[in-house]
Amino acid sequence: MILRRMQALLAQLYDAPVEHDVEDYLLDDRSRFALLTGVDCPGDEQVVVIEDRGDVRIGVFIDPEVLQRLERYDPLDSLAEENLQDYCTALEGVSHFHYLMWNLARKRSVSLLELELQADVDKYAGAVKLFTEQCAGWLPRALHTRLFSDVDYVPGLSAEGRRRYQDANRYAARFCRSLDDKFLRCRQRRPEAWLAELRRFFRHGHQEKLREATR
C-alpha cells in the first residue's frame, strides 16, 4: 500500500530504517480514532500517542478518501499538482510515525515542535527526490512556495498549537531554502551534499534542529 511505500521513501532518504510498519498502526476510519482517543479527529491526518502504564500505543489516522485518491493517482509514480496536497497529508502522518519509532528505538524523547519541523522537511525533501527522479533532474521552481507559503492550518487549533505549526513551517522553510541554494540551484549541483545535510539534520534533536534551521 501507499503508506508503506512512503515509509520506505523516508527510510531510504535518511538511511534510517525502523522495524515497525506504518500500515500495522493505521486507523482506517474516524470511529476507530475516536474510540482510541476519546475525541474526534480534527483533520485528514493525525498521529496519536497514548502512554498506558509505561507502554506507548501509537495510531496513525489518514482519511480513507485521501488514501483512495493516492491509490488512483500515485505520487510515487507521478507527483503533480493534482496529487500534491494528498501526498503532503499522507506523508506528514508517515513522517510522524517513522520519526517517533526511530527515536523510541534509541530511547530519545521528541518534542511536538521537533516532530512538526521534521515532517515539514520530510514533505519537501521527499517531493524534491520524487520530482528529480521522475522528471530527469527537473525541479519546479514554485515547489518551495507551494509547500511553505501556500499553507492552511486545521480549523480550531489552540493559539499554542497554531504557533507551533507556524514555527515549524518557518524553520523548515529556511532550512530547506538554504540547502537548495547551496546544493541544488547553484551552478554546480551537489545532490550528494544535499542528501548528507538532510541525514545529519534528521539525527539532530530539538535544539540542534533549531540552531541548524536558523544559521
Using pLDDT thresholds of 50, 70 and 90, give the confidence band for residue 42.
low
Q: What phi and psi, each to the nearest 5 degrees, are found at residue 58?
A: -125, 135
Could you tell me how far CA 80 lies from the centroid of its own chain? 17
Span 203-213, mean pLDDT? 94
Q: Which amino acid is at 166?
A: Q
Say which residue the cell 498502526 belongs to: 25
Q: Count Cβ neighbours within 10 Å for each residue of 94-115 and write b for 16 or more, e otherwise.
A: bbbbbbbbbbbeeeeebeebbb
Min mean pLDDT across 135-139, 192-196, 207-211 is at 135-139
Could you tell me how far CA 131 lies from the centroid of its own chain? 16
Per-domain residue ranges of the chain: 2-17+76-213
CA nearest to 127, candidates 113, 138, 116, 117? 138
* 97/22 Cα distance (integer angstroms): 7
- pLDDT tens digits, one per residue of 44-102: 888 888 776 667 778 899 999 999 999 999 999 999 999 999 999 999 999 999 999 99
Give the model's pLDDT for residue 56: 75
Classify 38 in phi/psi space as left (phi over 0), alpha (psi -120 to 50) or beta. Answer: left
* 28/67 Cα distance (integer angstroms): 10
Cα first-last separation, the chain: 38
* Residue 2 Cα distances to 16, 24, 88, 127, 201, angstroms: 19, 13, 13, 15, 25
Q: For residue 42, what is its C-alpha cell?
A: 480534527
- pLDDT tens digits, one per residue of 125-181: 999 999 999 987 788 888 999 999 988 887 777 889 899 999 999 999 999 999 999
Using pLDDT thresholds of 50, 70 and 90, give the confidence band for residue 18.
very high
* 170/163 Cα distance (integer angstroms): 10
Give the model's pLDDT for residue 140: 86
Could you tell me how far CA 41 lies from the centroid of its own chain? 18
CB atoms within 10 A of CB 177: 14
